[in-house]
């Protein structure tokens, strides 16, 4: 039995009876741009996240750029972000003319390290971008004192965390403004590209909406230079249907993560992911760490297991960002993780027999060739995955000025 890394057709099958008739109506009326479907999704998603405003845009990268612009980031400003993120986070900073300043992450959860952020601040620093990586919220509460002390804005990259919570609220409602992606593989994914900007600040939301529509709120009246980045009605129909199922699907991901923790606990040399205290993880990815990762990945692939790597090269070691001047060794945790991390199949419809198959294949890949040599044990430690209700107290608003 082969096991896919992701099973999007299963999601589509579950929502087909709801989505297809509404798509047919859109095609009959040709109401593709804007309209009630987009407006309804924006309202519903803002309410789900717990913010006052949601602005649908064309994709997640645009969402980060628009959030940066709305927050007042201009050319020459410095923006701090973690070294282990998808390059889009840094690209958005570059696209507004600002300078990405990279920092290391903590070794336990691979999330941005507040102490590293504090050490990286200069007189040109204007913002911090915590990335809610792999499905759980970054330690934003540890960044607030730093941001307040230096008059910085916190801009969340919430692309991998739709529905994830901390004791202070959902991802996307923890900073001054946030960006998310609705790329099809996300926990809340569209039928193509899509994204959103989230904020409680009406002025920032108006700015974001204007920038995403050529700097205009009224046709042919352009108040600023913007560009074209709109969430279309086809995607809004898809997202509305999936949003109604998101909590259920996230709960299924949590159940799958719990099964993985039990199935993989006895495999020597596999370091399991853990959940940060107080967080409710939505397990966008289930990321383990192993020695000889590339060999293990190749063996899993040959055995029909759809594993992947997120991400094999930290931002500072990509050719695109060589001019930042960082060298190998600049961020040892991120660099070490990049050589060990391995994402196992994870999706809401992942069945128990599929996970048994993954566990057996992984056990063989990690230990099967070690009969004649000592086992290479990687950071063995007990699994401490915590299980929290998806309901948490309302966000205590300690907004950054």
Residues 68-79 pLDDT 10s: 999 999 999 999
Which pLDDT does position 219 carry in this prediction? 87
Residue 281, CB-side half-sphere exposure with 13 Å CA sphere: 29
Q: What is Dmax (Cα atoms) for the chain?
A: 74
pLDDT for residue 388 is more than 60: no
Query: Of 383, 380, 382, which Cα lies nearest the Cα of 290?
Result: 380
Q: What is the mean predicted confidence (pLDDT) over 307-323?
A: 97
Q: What is the mean predicted confidence (pLDDT) over 52-68?
A: 98
Nearest 5°: the CA angle 109, 311, 278 is 20
pLDDT per position as a tens digit, 61-117: 999 999 999 999 999 999 999 999 999 999 999 999 999 999 999 999 999 999 999
**Structure tokens, 280:** 């409710």
**Structure tokens, 81:** 């972000």
pLDDT for residue 386 is more than 70: no
Confidence of residue 369 (pLDDT cuts 50, 70, 90): low
Instruction: Tell me the residue length of the chain.
Output: 401
Which pLDDT does position 48 carry in this prediction? 98
**What does pLDDT average to over the chain?**
92
Instruction: Output DSSP code: residue 188.
Output: S
DSSP string, 248-263: HHHHHHHHHHHHHHHH
Instruction: Output DSSP code: residue 283.
Output: -
Does residue 197 contact residue 181 with C-beta atoms inside 8 Å?
Answer: no
CATH top-level class for 246-367? alpha beta
For residue 342, CA distances in Å to 112, 289, 362 come to: 19, 6, 11
CATH topology (fold) of 8-243: 3.40.640
Nearest 5°: the CA angle 127, 129, 130 is 140
Does residue 112 contact residue 154 with C-beta atoms inside 8 Å?
Answer: no
Residues that are catalytic: 186
pLDDT for residue 126 is more than 70: yes
Q: In whole angstroms, what is the distance from residue 304 CA to residue 289 CA?
A: 20
pLDDT for residue 393 is more than 50: no
Confidence of residue 217 (pLDDT cuts 50, 70, 90): confident
pLDDT for residue 179 is more than 60: yes
For residue 5, CA distances in Å to 110, 114, 308, 368 come to: 21, 32, 7, 22
Q: In whole angstroms, what is the distance from residue 213 CA to residue 227 CA?
A: 6
What's this model's pTM, rounded to 2 decimal places? 0.90
Of all residues in the chain, the percent with pLDDT exceeding 70 is: 92
pLDDT per position as a tens digit, 226-274: 999 999 999 999 999 999 999 999 999 999 999 999 999 999 999 999 9
The domain locations on the chain are: 8-243, 246-367
pLDDT for residue 56 is more than 70: yes
Query: Of 341, 337, 333, 400, which Cα lies nearest the Cα of 103?
Result: 333
Does residue 315 contact residue 83 with C-beta atoms inside 8 Å?
Answer: yes
At residue 390, the 3 state secondary structure works out as coil
């Amino acid at each position: 039995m082969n096991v896919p890394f992701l099973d999007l057709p299963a999601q589509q099958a579950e929502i087909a009876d709801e989505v297809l008739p509404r798509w047919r109506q859109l095609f009959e009326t040709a109401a593709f741009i804007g309209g009630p479907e987009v407006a309804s999704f924006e309202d519903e998603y803002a309410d789900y996240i717990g913010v006052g405003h949601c602005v649908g845009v064309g994709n997640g990268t645009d969402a980060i750029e628009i959030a940066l612009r709305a927050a007042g980031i201009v050319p020459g400003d410095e923006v701090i972000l973690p070294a282990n993120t998808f390059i889009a986070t840094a690209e958005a900073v570059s696209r507004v003319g600002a300078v990405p300043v990279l920092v290391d992450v903590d070794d336990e959860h691979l999330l941005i390290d507040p102490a590293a952020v504090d050490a990286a601040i200069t007189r040109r620093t204007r913002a911090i971008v915590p990335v809610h990586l792999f499905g759980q919220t970054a330690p934003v509460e540890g960044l607030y004192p730093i941001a307040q002390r230096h008059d910085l804005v916190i801009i969340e990259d919430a692309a991998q965390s739709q529905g994830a919570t901390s004791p202070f609220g959902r991802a996307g409602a923890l900073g001054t403004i946030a960006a998310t992606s609705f790329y099809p593989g996300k926990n809340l994914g569209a039928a193509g590209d899509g994204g959103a900007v989230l904020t409680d600040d009406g002025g920032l939301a108006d700015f974001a909406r204007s920038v995403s529509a050529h700097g205009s709120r009224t046709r042919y009246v352009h108040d600023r230079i913007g560009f074209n980045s709109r969430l279309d009605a086809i995607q809004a129909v898809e997202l509305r249907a999936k949003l109604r199922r998101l909590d259920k699907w996230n709960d299924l991901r949590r159940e799958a993560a719990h099964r993985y923790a039990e199935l993989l606990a006895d495999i020597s040399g596999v370091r399991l992911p853990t959940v940060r205290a107080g967080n409710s993880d939505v397990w966008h990815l289930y990321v383990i760490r192993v020695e000889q990762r590339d060999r293990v990945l190749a063996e899993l692939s040959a055995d029909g297991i759809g594993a992947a790597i997120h991400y094999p090269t930290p931002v500072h070691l990509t050719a695109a960002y060589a001019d930042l001047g960082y060298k190998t060794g600049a961020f040892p945790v991120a660099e070490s993780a990049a050589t060990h991390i391995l994402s196992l199949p994870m999706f809401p419809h992942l069945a128990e027999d599929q996970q048994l198959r993954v566990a057996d294949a992984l056990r063989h890949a990690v230990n099967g060739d070690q009969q004649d040599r000592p086992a290479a044990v990687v950071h063995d430690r007990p699994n401490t995955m915590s299980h929290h209700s998806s309901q948490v107290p309302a966000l205590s608003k300690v907004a950054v000025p």
